Amino acid sequence: MKILQIVQKPQRRGAEVFAFQLSQEMRRQGHEVRMAFLYPHQGANLLPLQKEDCLLAGQENHLFEKYLTLHPGLLYRLQQLLAKFKPEVVQVNGGRAVKYGAFAHRFNRNGAWALVYRNIGNPQDWVRGWQYHFFYKKLIIPQIDGVVGVSQTTLENLKQFYRRSMPMTHIPNGVDTEALKPALSREAIRRQTQTSPDAPLLLYVGSLTFEKRLDRLLRVVSQVLPHVPTLQVWLLGDGSLRSTLEQQAASLGLAKVVRFLGVQADVGTYLNAADLFLLTSDTEGIPAVILEAGWLGLPVVATRVGGIPECVLDGETGLLAAPEDETGLAQAILKLLQHPQQRAIMGARNQEWIQTKFTMDIIARQY
């Protein structure tokens, strides 16, 4: 089958990384897959482009994007790619990708192809205001032939928000086990980062943006620290709130506890060095990094939001708390740090759970 994956940028963020890894696996399974990136990425740690992939070189801050919601020139370049490649299926990943995919579908004159929207979250979190609601409900969603939701929760959110009937199915994120193999041992990465080999280590991986609620994470850590004075916390990722979070960490007395390590391509090495994975978001689909943590045998402490309860078995593979319950999150962390045998059992269960349900070869066959 000929498949085109459309994503926003060649950046190492959830939707883009999943689309890249899914494309790699589907190529191994015999499909002809290309990726189209709408915009260039100026930051570090680019996704590697394959020779068959295409960077459409849009300008995401152009006035057309702001006021018309899309750029005619970028749409034209996408249509040219579609005419040349002639895919059977186009999968759009994320809000900007679905816009361009829908308009290309609406004005398609180059053979039939199905448009599949991979929905990773609650549209209510990003389709705000009646104008955007009208735009998506009347112009974008009617062009979609089918929806893949990363969780049952995201599918229900989509149905309730748009109130439109269309083919839908649930396929979760998956783990690319080859890409996740640690390059360095637990001891080596701790030496490299000047972290004590015996220090209890919490890890977060993701963007430093509002919806991830790293402000909450820092407050939770400040509750844990008096009980675990040797605690260390690594935050992997970058984003608009980094300087604000660094200031908050200092004001909470966490400057020597919390390390901001930026974006790292070798996530597996850092996961392998940690004792516990921590996620305190307000909204999520099925976070790929939770699955990655599980594959490497880490238990998870997270907020009970979105699709997280579908991939973290509360009390078995991790512990969940309501997002507003910061004391509950702190108590969950303490429970696992102070009982290493229970932590090890929970991590082993998590690894088995991920290996049997969420590896990329299993997930790719569901597509």
Burial of 304 (0-12, 13-18, 19+ CB in 10 A): middle
Q: Are residues 251 and 128 in the same domain?
A: no
State whether 238 and 137 are in the same domain. no
Q: Is residue 139 part of a domain?
A: yes
Same domain, 286 and 323: yes
pLDDT for 160: 81
- Would the pLDDT of 286 be above 80? yes
pLDDT band at 24 (very low <50, low <70, confident <90, very high): very high
For residue 303, the model assigns a pLDDT of: 98
Q: Pick the residue with more confidence: 168 or 127?
A: 168
**Residue 75: is its pLDDT beyond 80?**
yes
State mean pLDDT over 38-65.
Answer: 87
Same domain for 228 and 350? yes
Average the pLDDT over 272-276 and give the result. Answer: 97
Domain boundary among 171, 198, 213: 171
Do residues 222 and 134 share a domain?
Answer: no
Residues 132 and 17 occupy one common structural domain = yes
Q: Is 178 inside any structural domain?
A: no
- Report if residue 366 sits inside a domain: no
* Lowest-confidence pick of 120-124, 254-258, 297-301: 120-124
**Average pLDDT of the segment spanning 103-123:** 88
Of 308, 309, 280, 274, nearest in space to 293 by CA: 274
Tens of pLDDT along 221-249?
999 999 999 999 999 999 999 999 999 99
> For residue 320, what pLDDT is reported?
99
Task: Please give the average per-residue pLDDT across 112-124, as a whole number.
Answer: 87
Mean pLDDT of 49-72: 87
Residue 258 lies in a domain: yes
Residue 365 lies in a domain: no
**Contacts (Cβ under 8 Å, ≥6 apart) of 104:** 75, 78, 79, 82, 90
- Say if residue 11 is in the same domain as residue 136: yes
- Considering 106, 138, 171, which residue would you say is the last residue of a domain? 171
Runs of H (alpha helix) within 199-339: 214-224, 242-251, 267-273, 288-295, 308-311, 326-337
Q: Which domain holds residue 54?
A: 2-171
Q: Is residue 80 located within the same domain as residue 190? A: no
Q: Hey, which residues does 46 pair with through a beta bridge?
A: 11
| Distance separating alpha carbons of residues 214 and 254, to the nearest angstrom | 13
Q: Is residue 367 part of a domain?
A: no
Which amino acid does the sequence have at 335?
Answer: K
The better pLDDT of the pair 109, 7 is held by: 7
CATH number assigned to the domain comprising residue 134: 3.40.50.2000
What are the Cα distances from residue 167, in Å, to 18, 142, 234, 274, 366? 22, 12, 41, 41, 15
Question: Are residue 19 and residue 161 in the same domain, yes or no?
Answer: yes
What's the confidence (pLDDT) of residue 284? 92
Domain termination site, one of 139, 171, 203? 171
101 and 209 in a single domain? The answer is no
- HSE-CB at 15 with a 13 A cutoff on CA atoms is 24
Q: Are residues 159 and 96 in the same domain?
A: yes
For the chain, give the number of residues: 367
Report pLDDT for 29: 92
In a domain, 231, yes or no: yes
Whether residue 138 lies inside any domain: the answer is yes
Read off the pTM: 0.86
Total domains in the fold of the chain: 2
Percent of the chain with pLDDT over 90: 76
As a whole number of Å, the end-to-end CA separation of the chain is 11
Q: Are residue 113 and residue 161 in the same domain, yes or no?
A: yes
List own/partner pairs for 165-171 with CB under 8 A and 24 or more apart: 166/141, 171/363, 171/366, 171/367
Res. 94: pLDDT tops 90: no
Q: Does residue 198 carry a pLDDT above 90? A: yes
Percentages (nearest 5) of helix, strand, coil residues in the chain: 45, 15, 40
